[in-house]
Structure 1
Amino acid sequence: MCRAGVSLWPRPSPSWTPVVGRVLREALTGPLSGHQVMLMVDDGVQRSLSLDLLLTGLTSPTVLLHTTTHNTDNHFTTQQLPTAQDVLLVVVGTGSPWLLWSPPGWLSPRAVLVLVAAQTCSARKHFQSPLLQNTPSVALLCLNHKPQTPEYSTYSVMNHFPLSANPEPVLLGTWHPDTFTTLEDLFQDQFQDFGGTGLRATLIPLDKPNVFQRDDGELDGLSVRILATMAYWLNFTYSYNIVSAATWGIRLENGSYDGMLGVVQRKESHMVINNYAITYQRVKDFDCSVSYFLEGYGMILKDPPPLPHWQSIFYPFTGIVWAAVGGIVILTTLAYYFVNMRGLRLPMILSFLDVLKSLLSQSVSQEPLVWVSRGLLGLWLLATWVLRVSYTSNLMAFLTVPTIQAPLDSLEQLAESDLR
């Protein structure tokens, strides 16, 4: 359990306060048990409830928010906030806290439960707050006060469907932990039926296969058919706002968007049904659908032309190997010349020719008499035999077997290649 910036101590409470504490604890240990809960308690309620006693022994992970902080975007860091915000539980008094009317950008709970800890309950006002209007699942608990027996007071569970024909609060029943045992019992999707509401969809009909115009002028495409299916399932009508010369939408420095996303941001349209790349900034500023179209990117390069025939004699060895062979020939010539100074006394040019002959499968002109010279020459003949076999084999393979260049599998390989 994590608590942030709230002082907790027991205070004298009205006669109905034990009912609030009991219902709050039943909710945390009942349908909200096992879910990530973010709890916010109004300051006036904190002076009446002993939250220390209330939160002791809870098994659900609970984060307690400070209610007087209005710096909603910067008060908490990402390390202080829960990674998953399943349920937001707000305990209010006679007023309505800032969290309902000015929700920060990082707050996107799956469901919101509002518990009214006051004898009067303005259900319609709470349901009109932006947070409850935009959260898929909401529920409101209002006190049923009985002056004769306040300890037996009960709570009414209410919901509302803002897009239905009758957007008034709907009574789901009387709170009891045996009746509302799961999230599905307590919360109902308030957008399960749009009540025939008319929505406006902005689009560019130049986005095959998602949105395009057929030869008869009618719109068609994957997104158009998905919209028609959604309208049938969710009971809403729709009209098109066709634009021909608009951009998809780029976020400007002042936080606003241009293009089609700007139309939605200014509430001139309800949605855009074109194909959009899902980015972090767009998901942060707009409600995006799940990804249903996967598009890949590839590169096509022309095969390089074959090497000229005159280069085939150099192909079997790389430039480093050719340079190494040249250096070894020079060193071997010098060594062969110096070891023969007491025997054959070969000139430098003849020593070089004898060393070179072995590379060309030719016999040496004279057999050395000194054993050191014979050993050096034998090692050189063995080395040149390996070089000749390697060169000849690679050359035959190059001339007889067609070569296929290895494909480029990454951008790094493309950058390291000599292709333009």
Structure 2
Amino acid sequence: MAVFEVALDSQDVNVTQMKFSQVIRHARQVRQLSRCVTVMLVSSDQEFLAAFAEWSLKGRLLVWSTRLLIITQQPLQELRTLMSTHWTFSMLNVILINLDMGQELRCGVYTHLPYSPKGARLVRLATWTNTQGLVSITRIPIFPNKFSNFYGSSVNVTALTYAPHWMTSGSGSNTQYAGMDYLLLKTIADALNFTIHVLPSASWKEVTDQVEARRSFVASIVYVVLPSRMEKYDFTQIFDFTPFCFATSKPELKPQWQSLYKPFTKDVWGANLVAIILVTVAFHMK
């Protein structure tokens, strides 16, 4: 367990960013020590919460297996805005406990569902009081799986023609897709109830850049795990292996009488001739 504190006692933006960067870097090192980590964030400052959402993305602090618990005290409207406008809070495994400091301490437990029958919305999961404890008010579990059902939503995808993994035919509204990666993604879309919307991409860099910018939800491409990429992305489990090897064609030497002398250069033949002459003269001198 580790405890970190960021004191925003400076008006200098650069100092604040440096503090966040250092704390997020150390917190990520702690998170990497275990496969299952719960991060608790405590703050009543909305600017601090927004800064955490931004820097946790830049510093790759959270992955889906990481649970984020936020404890704060915000008006409900500001809470909706905070949870819906930041990718960290809306899309990751996050619940929020909002304190209501009245005559009796009361807490509301919330989460943001990006996909639901009523669209993206903030959901109150439970309440907590000193007398009753935690009382669930919905069938949705604490820390729900937000992506078990997309309810027919359109999901942005980036890809690039690369046979046999991803292939296209036709143009415009008549574009047809095929290939290993497309069929895999189509199977997932059918199981999770979403439709595929392919965003245009001009290069491999643009494919992944659109995912990093959160314009695309997924990139269905063959993505080899390289040290340079591990500095930018977190990999979960490899399901497709592509071996690397070096190969050369087998030389085809046709039997011919020139093979007796062609492998040697003129210098080699000259040296052999000189050696034969010297040996012959030596034998005659005896």
Q: 2:243 aligns with which of 282, 296, 303?
A: 296
Q: Aligned-pair distance for 1:274?
A: 2.2
- 1:132 equivalent in structure 2: 89
After TM superposition, the score normalised by the length of structure 2 is 0.63
Where do 1:260-409 residues align within 5 Å? 260-265=207-212, 269-285=216-232, 290-301=237-248, 302=250
Q: Is 1:248 matched up with 2:204?
A: yes
- Superimposed CA distance per residue, residues 156-211 of structure 1 (whole angstroms, 9 cap, x where no aligned partner): 2111202333322212122377779xxx9531123333333222323223321x21
Q: Distance in 2 between matches of 1:185 and 1:268?
A: 28
Contact 1:199 1:238 (C-alpha < 8 Å) held by counterparts:
yes
Contact 2:150 2:192 (C-alpha < 8 Å) held by counterparts:
yes
Q: Distance in 2 between matches of 1:163 and 1:79?
A: 29
Cα RMSD of the aligned pairs, angstroms, is: 4.0
After TM superposition, the score normalised by the length of structure 1 is 0.45
Q: 1:211 aligns with which of 142, 146, 166?
A: 166
Corresponding residue SS for 1:107: coil
Contact 1:124 1:169 (C-alpha < 8 Å) held by counterparts:
yes
Q: Distance in 2 between matches of 1:192 and 1:105?
A: 27
Q: Distance in 1 between matches of 2:214 and 2:40?
A: 29
* Higher normalized strand content (fraction of residues): 2
Q: 1:236 aligns with which of 194, 198, 211?
A: 194
Read off the aligned partner of 1:272 and give its amino acid letter. Answer: A
Where do 1:97-246 residues align within 5 Å? 97=48, 98-103=51-56, 104-109=58-63, 110-116=66-72, 118=73, 120=75, 122-128=78-84, 129-135=86-92, 137-147=93-103, 150=104, 153-164=105-116, 165-175=118-128, 186-208=142-164, 210-213=165-168, 218-241=176-199, 246=202
Higher RCO (CA 8 Å, separation ≥ 6 residues): 2
Number of aligned positions between the proteins: 231
Q: Structure 1 residues 146 and 162, CA, compared in 2 at 3 Å: closer, same or farther?
A: same
Q: Aligned-pair distance for 1:70?
A: 2.9
Q: Distance in 2 between matches of 1:113 and 1:76?
A: 16
- Superimposed CA distance per residue, residues 225-275 of structure 1 (whole angstroms, 9 cap, x where no aligned partner): 2211222232222223455xx4322xxxxxxxxx42234445554432222
Contact 1:197 1:237 (C-alpha < 8 Å) held by counterparts:
yes
Task: Indicate the structure (1 or 2) with the bigger Cα radius of gyration.
Answer: 1
* Structure 2 unmatched ranges of 5 or more: 9-15, 254-258, 261-286
Q: Distance in 2 between matches of 1:274 and 1:138?
A: 28
Read off the aligned partner of 1:166 and give its amino acid letter. Answer: G
Q: Distance in 2 between matches of 1:273 and 1:196?
A: 19
Corresponding residue SS for 1:170: strand
Q: Distance in 2 between matches of 1:125 and 1:204?
A: 35
Read off the aligned partner of 2:44 and give its amino acid letter. Answer: G
Contact 1:207 1:274 (C-alpha < 8 Å) held by counterparts:
no
Contact 1:96 1:126 (C-alpha < 8 Å) held by counterparts:
no
Corresponding residue SS for 1:189: coil
* Structure 1 unmatched ranges of 5 or more: 1-60, 250-258, 311-420
Read off the aligned partner of 1:197 and give its amino acid letter. Answer: S
Q: Distance in 2 between matches of 1:292 and 1:188?
A: 25
Q: Structure 1 residues 200 and 281, CA, compared in 2 at 3 Å: closer, same or farther?
A: same
